[in-house]
Amino acid sequence: MILYDYWRSSAAYRVRIALNLKGIAHERVAIDLVQGAQRAPDYVARNPQGLVPALDTGSAILTQSLAIIDYLDTAYPAPAILPTDPTARAQVLAQALVIAADIHPIDNLRVLNQLTAQFGADQAARETWYRHWIIEGLTALEAMTADLPGPFLGGTAPNLADICLVPQLYNARRFAVPLDAWPRLVAADAAASAVPEIAAAHPDRVKPTAA
């Protein structure tokens, strides 16, 4: 398998975690979003959205991180990332989508860049925008998960919600968002980040040497 990713991309980070948890051998090809490599014709031919990640399975090229993870969980069932019980599965998906559908899409690099290009937002305004949406989303997610058994959001093992949470809190720290209001999420992040397979996916472990 070949994973096309960018070291700081939250979506690519999720897929790196899933691949590692599943123990799936893969090659990484870096797509530098800052330099615009995602718009190169050969990459757009792989992913018409010009986004990362993309996963070449050898028989197909898959895009969208949660779709890729669903494929991995179906094709490589152990260890499971999503529950098989329909109600539990829906609840985990809802938790993951708070991040993947509600926070991340309006806080990612292309949106922040568009705020500057279209509205003249400076760095302070970009950071205010980012913090607003992450605070709103994580406050909701804390309430959704406060009563779940630990140490992970998935209980005794990390699940899809944990896979989405770890990259999101990494980015929250980058933007100096105080995390004190979300003790359940912080505890789950700490537990997940201590798992060797998840730690190996951390941006600092995969960043280019010149970054």
Regarding whether 154 and 126 lie in a shared domain, the answer is: yes
Furthest-apart CA atoms within the chain: distance in Å? 48
Regarding whether 151 and 117 lie in a shared domain, the answer is: yes
Regarding whether 179 and 94 lie in a shared domain, the answer is: yes
Q: State which of 79, 110, 137 marks the end of a domain.
A: 79
**Full-model pTM:** 0.94
The parent domain of residue 47 ranges over: 2-79
Regarding whether 178 and 122 lie in a shared domain, the answer is: yes
Counting the structural domains of the chain, the total is 2
For residue 150, tell me if it sits in a domain: yes
Regarding whether 154 and 122 lie in a shared domain, the answer is: yes
Regarding whether 57 and 98 lie in a shared domain, the answer is: no
DSSP H helices in 103-182: 104-107, 109-119, 123-145, 160-174
Nearest to 107 by CA among 36, 186, 168, 38: 168
Per-residue pLDDT of the chain (211 residues; tens, 9 = 90+): 999 999 999 999 999 999 999 999 999 999 999 999 999 999 999 999 999 999 999 999 999 999 999 999 999 999 999 999 999 999 999 999 999 999 998 888 889 999 999 999 999 999 999 999 999 999 999 999 999 999 999 999 999 999 999 999 999 999 899 999 999 999 999 999 999 999 999 999 999 886 5
Q: Cβ contacts of residue 16 below 8 Å, gap of 6+? A: 3, 5, 28, 201, 206
For residue 67, tell me if it sits in a domain: yes
Regarding whether 102 and 75 lie in a shared domain, the answer is: no
